Structure 1
Amino acid sequence: MTDAYLTRLDTPIGRIELVADREAVVSLDIEHDGALPHDDLPERLNPVLELARTQLAEYFAGARTTFDVPVRLSGTPFQQAVWAELARLGWGEATSYGALAAAVGKPGSARAIGGAVGANPVPILVGCHRVLASDGRITGYSAGEGIPTKLWLLGHEHIGFAA
C-alpha cells in the first residue's frame, strides 16, 4: 500500500476502513467477523480521509444525507456504468436490479447487475444498499455482516422493503 492512506472509524454497523490515494477514496470496507482487510497496518491520514471520516460520522449521526468526498471507482466499463447509476440514488431512495439493468441499457441482466453492485468498492458512499429485488425484497448484501448490515442501512435511511 505505498502511496496509500488508511483510516478506520467505529460506526453502528461495525468498524469501517477507508483507503485513499492523494485525491480520492478508493475503498471502503465494513468489518466482517471482527476483522478488516488492513488491520495489520497503521493508520495514515490525509485530507481526503479526514473529510470522509467527518462525512461518514455525520451520516451515521443522521445529520448528512449526501456525500461529496471524492471517490475513485476502478472497475470494468459495465461496473462503472452500474456504479454511476447507484451514485444517482439519494438518501431514502431505492431501486431494483431490473431497473438498474434497464438504466445501463442491459435489460434482462439483473444477475450481472447484482455482481456489479456487489463489487462496489465504496459501499455507503455509493449506496449499493439501496438496491432491492423487483418485488421489494432484500436478496443479499456483500459488505459487513451481509443482510443485517443492509437492514441497518435501510432502516437508517427509512427505506421500506418487503419481508
Structure 2
Amino acid sequence: MSTRQQHSFHSPIGRIHLTEENGSIIRLTWVSRETSSVRSDSETSHVLLEAERQIRAYFDKTLKVFDLPLAYDRGSAFEHSVWDAMKEIPFGKLLTYGEIADRIGGVARAVGGACGANPIPLIIPCHRVVGSDGKLTGFSGDGGIATKQRLLDHESDQLTLF
C-alpha cells in the first residue's frame, strides 16, 4: 500500500511544498501566492522534516549537497537520465543543455524539455542548467526565470562552468 504525505514551509524564495511517497521525496513545488492554503499532514514524516532542514541549510549556505531519498513517480527513461545528470552538478557550477545532452546521448532541446518537467526542482538543481550562451532560459519554479536567477545569485560566490 502506498503512503503519501505532504509538508509545506516558507523559504527565502517562497512557500515550498514537498510530497513524499513510501519514504522518498517525489515532488517539490512552489505554492503560488494565489493558493489560499496548503496543508501539511498532522504527523510529518522524518523524510519531509529532513528535507525541510536540508533546504533551510542550503539557503543558509551550510549545505551544498542534498542527501535525501528521491523517487520519480513519473517521466520517461530519458527524463530520468537528465534528472540524474542534473543531480551531479555541484553547488555553484553550471552546465549547458548541450553539455548534458552530450553526457547522456541526447539533444539539447530534449534536455530542456526534461528540465522543465523536473518534479523536484532545487533538490535536483535544474536552476544550474543554462543555454549555450550562458543565458537563462526558463525555470519550472514559481517566479520562473526570476527565481532561477535568485538561486544562481545565492550560489554566485562560487558560480563557474562545470
Q: Taking structure 2 as the reference length, what is the TM-score of the superposition?
A: 0.89
Q: Is the 8 A contact 1:7 1:43 kept in 2?
A: yes
Amino acid in structure 2 at the alignment position of 1:62: K
Instruction: Confirm or deny: 8 A CA contact 1:73 1:80 kept in the other structure.
Output: yes
| 1:110 positional shift | 1.3
Deviations 1:6-54 (A, max 9, x none): 1111111100000001311010001334438xx4544341011011011
Q: Distance in 2 between matches of 1:152 and 1:40?
A: 24
Query: Which residue pairs with 2:56 in the alignment?
Result: 57
Q: What is the root-mean-square deviation in Å for CA atoms of aligned residues?
A: 1.8
What percentage of residue pairs aligned between the two structures are identical? 35
Q: In structure 2, give the amino acid aligned to 1:93.
A: K
TM-score (norm 1): 0.89
**Partners in 2 of 1:62 and 1:96 — Cα distance?**
24
What do residues 107-161 of structure 1 show as CA deviations (whole Å, max 9, x unaligned)?
xx21111110111110011100000001111111121110111011001111369
Note the residue ranges of structure 2 that are not aligned, 5 or more in a row: none
1:149 aligns with 2:152: no
Q: Distance in 2 between matches of 1:94 and 1:35?
A: 32
Query: Residue 6 and residue 92 in structure 1: after superposition, are their counterparts in 2 closer, same or farther (change >3 A)?
Result: same
Does 2:6 correspond to 1:13? no
- Aligned position for 1:101: 101
SS of 2:93 mapped into structure 1: coil
Q: Is the 8 A contact 1:132 1:138 kept in 2?
A: yes
Partners in 1 of 2:102 and 2:35 — Cα distance?
Answer: 36
Q: Which AA in structure 1 matches 2:130? A: L
Distance 2:64 2:154 in 1: 10
The AA in structure 2 aligned to 1:71 is L
Instruction: Give the partner amino acid of 1:145.
Output: G
Opposite residue 50 of structure 2, the aligned amino acid is L
> Does the 8 Å CA contact 2:127/2:152 hold for their aligned counterparts?
yes
Whole-Å separation in 2 of the counterparts to 1:105 and 1:146: 27
Q: 1:31 to 1:160 in 2, by over 3 A?
A: farther
Whole-angstrom distance in 2 between the partners of 1:59 and 1:41:
23
User: Where in structure 2 are the equivalents of 1:131-150 lying within 5 Å?
Assistant: 131-150=129-148
